[in-house]
Structure 1
Amino acid sequence: MKINKLIYNSGYIITEWNLENILSNFKVLNMKDLNIYYDENVNVIEERYEDDSIVMVGYCFDIRDSDKSQNEILRELLLSDSLEEDLDYINGRYNFVIRRGIEYQIFSDASQLRPLIYHKNTRMLASHDSLLNEVLLKYDINLERRNSGFHTELDFTRFKELYKFNPSMYLNFKTFDFVRFYPRTQLQERSIEEIFKEMKPFLDNSRKFLEKIDNDKFVTVTAGIDSRVSAALTRDFSNEMEYLTYTQSPKKLATKMAKQIYKIDEKITTDMKKYLGWNHNIIKLSDYAPSKEKINELSEIYNSKHAYALANYYRDTKKYDKAIHVKSTVFGMGKADFPKELDSHKDTLEFYKKCIHGLPQRFVQNEDVSKEVDEYFKRNMINEGVTKGRHYFDLFHLESRMGNWHSMLTLETDPETEEFIFTNCRKMIDLIQSPSVVERRDFRLYKKIIKEYWPVLLSFGINSVTNGKMADNDDNDIYDIRHKQTKVTAINKITIEKKAETLTLKPSVDLINVFDTYSFSIENESKDRRIVKITSFYRNTKAKNKINIIIKTKDDVKVYDILELNKGINLTLDDKPVVVYVVYRANFTSSSWVDAGKLQLDIKSPIVKLS
């Protein structure tokens, strides 16, 4: 699809207007009062029954029945007496336009993987904000641009009169009013076993649907838990899959800390590649970066700058055409990623505002945030009690971070790829939010899924700071051992034991796996700066170059050989936590090597008041 000199390879427009004289290289489907203009790369299907019809832009599948065709799904939805409930089970990347009599309704997939932008005054919707702007300019309708750099905050686009379609609402096109239909039911906390039992048939049907697709298929893999779940679900047909990790050049990373943590992330995925023997490519985005001139051209079209290099890789190196990209973004809804101070959820607008996240500092500094959030709440029908047992942090994440920011960046690699997410339907999103907060932060549901489908993936370290469990001991107040204001938290596979005025920490495993990292954090909960001394026990020189201790502070990351800590080093604790990683450079089967990674913490008196 082309307008002026701009080409929209995956563009589409929904409108009452006739645009045939201003567009070129397009197809059109007429629904009596509505026209759907779309690029030839876009999949559009219509199903009719008597005088009613439903049009799908994109693709879909039913998690209850992997054998059901898309036409069968569309017909069932068109005839459904419980449309909103049935849509809960429809995964994919789509927009539905449903005409019943003179009424039109527009629905989206659960996270707006298939983007829509709307302009209320002209009752027009489109895939790209720039495409809609170009159309309106042809009719002398000039839109005001937002300040430079503001584009996907809240439900914003680059233009003040264009807003992002919320995936939890549908549009009544006749009145051009939105209706919120998710959440509709109260969410109850449930056990992992109960959730998994209900979820497993849906996962299996989704796996069958994915396996049957003939297109190229790949999973993007990081060291995080989310992509590990997606990868596990592809085990039965892993010989047909590619596993892709893309990394950034160290020169592109701003701090030493970012570079060191990135190395840990890269090491885990590299170890997975070596150990598993799967078809796993690890690429550097800088090898595929477009020219500055090309970036400027793409920036006119897209409302994001996330994956221009990836698009080059997919198009020029892999020669992809609608390859299925198995992504894991929606899995974030099941991890209780909100700060601990938000654990006690309240159904008030004041609390909801505290849950708003992902706003850049430039937005906070230059906009009236409170006013903008109030207007966002009004546009998106956010009233007290809207969550119905869910946490508003998660609901905002779904509707803004996924529904806007992530939605828009999918266009950058379309039509080279088509997104697939195992949890991109409202039924699955509710299921992953149903465990307790503690269980979600410990990834217990996700670990159960991995254990069921590809358990070896649990042998590799998970590069994520979560609230891990410490070993049982007689002192339940182990977090506060000296001044009762210093918290030590086991992040991954660490046992903590209190002895007199010190703590000892060591890996909580029987065998050492080189693919694992063992880590803990130290956090100062007082207003006083204080000193913590870290000392290693193992003194045998055969341990040299076998065990590294990585210490991440607020401003730096340092790597020590464990023998360098025999005499101890002092760390200053201020207002930011310190994270310590115990990293082995080989596999060890002897328990003595588990003990070799033991560390001692001595927490000293405060030295100065923090300002």
Structure 2
Amino acid sequence: MPINFYPRGFLYSRDAQVITDELKGFRHHQTSRGEFWQAPETELEILDRGTALIVLIGHAQYVSDSASTGDTREICALIFDAWETAGRTEVEKYLYDLGGRYALFVLTDDEQYVYHDAHGMRSVYFIDGQTVVSSHERMLADLVNARPELATISSLSLALRGRFSRFRGITALQPNHRLDLSTSSQSRYFPYTENSYLGASDKERLDLAQHLWTEQIRLISSDRDVALSMTGGIDSRVSLAMSRAFWDRIKAFTYTAIPRQDSAWSRSIYQDEAIVQQILDVVNIDHEFLRRDEAPALSANEKNTLAKNTAGQHGQWLLKLYQRRFPNPSTVHLRANLHETGRNYFHKYRTPGEPLRGLRKLLRDQTVQRHPAMETQIDTVMDEFDELIGQAGYRELPASYEPLDMYYWELRQGRWFSEVFNETDCAFDTAIPFNHRRLIDLALSFDASQRREGYFFKELINRSAPFLNFYGVNSTKNLYEQGRDKLKELPPLRTNRVNNSVGTNVEVTSKISILNEQGQKIAHRPYAGSLYVPAEHFRSSHVAEIQINHDPDADMRPIDLQLSVENTYENPRATNHMEFVVELDGVETLRHDLSARPEPYGITMTALPAGTCVKIRIRALRDTPRDSWEKASRTGLQIVARVAQGQERKILTDNPFAKILPVEPAN
């Protein structure tokens, strides 16, 4: 199978256009509102109803909670009806449930808009000041003999390039933006409201996600051969699990290489082979390993063609192996790369209350790490990033959408992977069911700690093929082996004992007391180093507490008390749900909203006199009696008591989110 120029590509021009030699094999369509060219294997649907021309390029699956179709003619008709009902507003509502990899043109006498899929898997480029749009930046550059772009960030890696192409006057359409051809400008249309799934139960969210996901796979596989990539990671595991009903019609593969001591890459993908071999013991699927040492070499002409087809390189050595394994050009590759959008990938850069500061730090760090020579120009780069942030509308996002998430979704994932797909288009098309805005909203609606742990995706595996959760993720050890080895490494179990230095006598209660809003004890739980609010007691003003006592009859000397506090929960949208509280002799001295600061921190209380009673509390602030909130409240404690080193009574902490209240001086 040859590697042609711009496979699955397209070109649109409102005015007559002289095309380049590379496009001579494209099919031509003259419409009432301009000309379209498509590569022979490109799917294209044209609906002209006079008042509006609807053109859908690529594959698309409409799946909502109540309807579904993969018929592009029907989808175009529904989009036309939406346009006739309320113009672009209704069309953009429809796109919320339209998955696939596509570009969409809505052209009328007065308005001309271009959209693409949620992550921009179908890359879209346009020429500033002209009504010319295409699938590939180089296609446009050759049409107008464009010069190299002058902006500094255009020379950065794709994940940092934003809307810039490598060529002056040629711009990439950003995901979740509409292109207005009349002004050569793009504007955000999603998200326009808060994420509606924040208050839904886990079951509601997972039930809907499972339906949206599997129905898309059913539609995709109904008239296409399906390829599925298998690795040792969590993302491909989700794809494998969610496609379980269709294993009998899928051809799977894993690329691998002979492991070499001097190549971390070869060792990594060989590990994938070992993990996949374990999975194949229980999964009956047509599978083949694609081996690096068996890959045919690309010719010089093929390499030159690929240099035009994609703005980035991923794994060109695989292309001939792909073509051999999947000779049918209508094959679609079921991939999983975009799942990372749902996993809070850059959480360590979060800056609650000032989210753009974290995004700017991320962009600075990524630039210097990937392009060390740019450090001398970093001020110029950051000025360009600031302009990009403003153009992308990250300052005006609804509160439930974080700029870090949207950057990862739109500019990192959107730009990088669209060009990976352009590279592999010579072998097959690409489909990712997660590339569906309602599905993405469902993933983003889970709290930060659940997203970091991959809870949403692991639960989907558990519902569809639970045995796949048994195998290691990026590890050849299965769940049992990992648990066994972890037990060997664990320190002795924490107890309710306090680590007392010589001469002090301080003890902590052996039970967690549960108090209602009137302060009455209504239940208790064993305490073994972890304080939490049980799910059934997660009610407003209910408290879980332990008590630390310094027995004056045993030792009259004052003490310094040190607490190590560890709670991994983090969710900037869940403030005022629960708080960590320290109380000295009935007076609150420290408060910390547990939605912030997932890192461990310390608290030191100095010069506590004999007889002091210290209470450590977690207070629920809302009625949310769910297992997930019990889990979120779990806070590990280590307590150390020493003879006081001074006489000044102080409360100290390294947690900037904790509020320290005034302490009465010791008597």
Task: Tell me if both proteins adopt one fold, taking TM over 0.5 as the criterion.
Answer: yes
Alignment correspondent of 2:211: 201
Aligned residues: 477
The separation in 2 between residues aligned to 1:354 and 1:143, in whole angstroms, is 28
CA distance in 2, matches of 1:292, 1:252: 29
Distance 1:268 1:430 in 2: 31
Q: How does 1:270-349 map to 2 (within 5 A)?
A: 270-288=277-295, 290-291=297-298, 293=300, 294-342=302-350, 344-349=351-356
Q: 1:151 to 1:163 in 2, by over 3 A?
A: farther
Contact 1:315-1:416 at 8 Å conserved across structures:
yes
Structure 2 distance, partners of 1:253, 1:79, is 59
Shift of the alpha carbon at 1:406? 0.6
Deviation at 1:460, TM superposition (A): 0.7
- Alignment-mate amino acid for residue 13 of structure 1: L
Deviation string, structure 1 residues 58-84 (Cα, Å, up to 9, x no partner): 111111334462211111111213211
Normalised TM-score (structure 2): 0.65
Secondary structure of 2:45's aligned partner:
strand
- Which has the higher mean CA deviation after the structures are superposed, 16-25 or 124-133? 16-25
How much does 1:359 deviate? 4.4
Query: Counterpart of 1:56?
Result: 56
- Kept in 2, the 8 Å contact 1:217–1:326? The answer is yes
Secondary structure, counterpart of 1:62 in structure 2: strand
- Which of 453, 456, 461 lines up with 1:442 in the alignment? 453
State the match for 2:664 in structure 1. none
1:276 partner SS: coil
Residues 451-600 of structure 1 mapped to structure 2, 5 A cutoff:
451-463=462-474, 474-476=528-530
1:142-181 equivalences in 2 (<5 Å): 142-144=147-149, 150=156, 152=158, 153-155=160-162, 156-181=164-189
The answer for the alignment partner of 1:189 in structure 2 is 198
State the shift of 1:260 in Å.
Answer: 5.2
- Give 1:352's aligned amino acid: L
Check conservation: 1:232, 1:454, Cα contact below 8 A: yes
Cα distance, 1:261 vs. partner? 4.9
Structure 1 unmatched runs, 5+: 478-482, 490-522, 527-611
Tell me the secondary structure at the aligned position of residue 280 of structure 1: strand
Structure 2 residue aligned with 1:369: 381
State the Cα deviation string for residues 130-184 of structure 1 (Å, max 9, x = none): 11111112xxx54447889645233232224322210110011112221201111
Match status 1:135 vs 2:150: no
Report the 3-state secondary structure (helix = DSSP H, G, I; strand = E; otherwise coil) of the residue aligned with 2:281.
helix
Q: Which residue of 2 aligns with 1:380?
A: 392
Q: Output the CA distance in 1 between the equivalents of 2:109 and 2:250.
A: 44
Structure 1 residue aligned with 2:12 = 14
Give the 3 Å change call, closer, same or farther, for CA 231–359 of structure 1 in structure 2: farther
Is the contact made by 2:226 and 2:251 (CA closer than 8 Å) also made in structure 1? Answer: yes
Note if 1:244 corresponds to 2:242: no
8 Å contact kept, 1:11–1:42: yes
After superposition, the Cα gap between the structure-2 partners of 1:252 and 1:404, relative to the gap in structure 1 and judged at 3 Å, is farther
**Aligned mates of 1:198, 1:301 — CA distance in 2:** 37
CA-based RMSD of the aligned residues comes to 3.5
What is the rounded CA distance, in whole Å, between the counterparts of 2:137 and 2:353 in structure 1? Answer: 35
- 1:217 and 1:240 in contact (8 A); partners too: yes
Q: Deviations over 1:410-463 (max 9, x none)?
A: 111114211111111111111111111121222222122112111121111122
Answering whether residue 361 of structure 2 is matched by residue 350 of structure 1, we say no
Distance 1:159 1:19, change over 3 A: same
Partner of 1:219: 228
Change (3 A) 1:133 1:437: same
TM-score (structure 1 length as normaliser): 0.70
1:72 aligns with 2:43: no
Q: Check whether the contact 1:347–1:387 (CA below 8 A) recurs between aligned residues.
A: no
Q: CA deviation at 1:115?
A: 0.8
Structure 1 runs (4+) greater than 6 angstroms displaced = 145-149, 468-473, 483-489, 523-526
Q: Which amino acid aligns with 1:216?
A: D
Structure 2 portions without partners, runs of 5+? 478-482, 495-526, 532-561, 569-598, 603-667
Is the 1:207–1:234 contact (alpha carbons within 8 Å) kept by the matching residues of 2? yes
Distance change (3 Å), C-alpha of 1:21 and 1:433: closer
For residue 282 of structure 2, give the secondary structure of its aligned residue in structure 1: helix
Q: Secondary structure at the match of 1:237?
A: helix
CA separation of 1:291 and 1:72: change in aligned 2, threshold 3 A: closer
Q: 1:54 is paired with a residue of what secondary structure?
A: strand
Cα offsets for 1:223-280 (capped at 9, x unmatched): 222211111111112111122211244359644xx66555544321221123324222
Contact preservation (8 Å) 2:11, 2:36: yes
- Corresponding position of 1:88: 96
How far does residue 362 in structure 1 lie from its aligned partner after superposition? 4.8
- In 2, are the aligned partners of 1:325 and 1:419 still within 8 Å (CA)? yes
CA distance in 1 between counterparts of 2:318 and 2:169 reads 31
Given that 2:127 and 2:133 are in contact with CA atoms closer than 8 Å, whether structure 1 keeps it comes out as yes
1:360 and 1:69, CA in 2 relative to 1: closer, same or farther beyond 3 A? farther
Asked if the contact 2:131/2:182 (under 8 Å) is kept, the reply is: no
Q: By how many angstroms is 1:125 displaced?
A: 2.1
Q: What's the % identity of the aligned pairs?
A: 21
Task: Tell me which structure has the larger Cα radius of gyration.
Answer: 2
Could you tell me which amino acid in structure 2 is paired with residue 30 of structure 1? Answer: Q
Contact in 2 for aligned 1:136/1:142 (Cα 8 Å): no
Rounded to whole Å, the distance in 2 between the matches of 1:103 and 1:347 is: 37
Give distance in 2, aligned partners of 1:118 and 1:363: 27
Whole-Å separation in 1 of the counterparts to 2:261 and 2:32: 52
Conserved 8 A contact 2:61-2:220 = no
Of 32-41 and 107-116, more deviation after overlay is shown by 32-41
Deviation at 1:358, TM superposition (A): 5.5
Moved more, 454-463 or 195-204: 195-204
Q: How does 1:421-440 map to 2 (within 5 A)?
A: 421-440=432-451
Structure 2 letter corresponding to 1:102: D
SS at 2:435 equivalent: coil
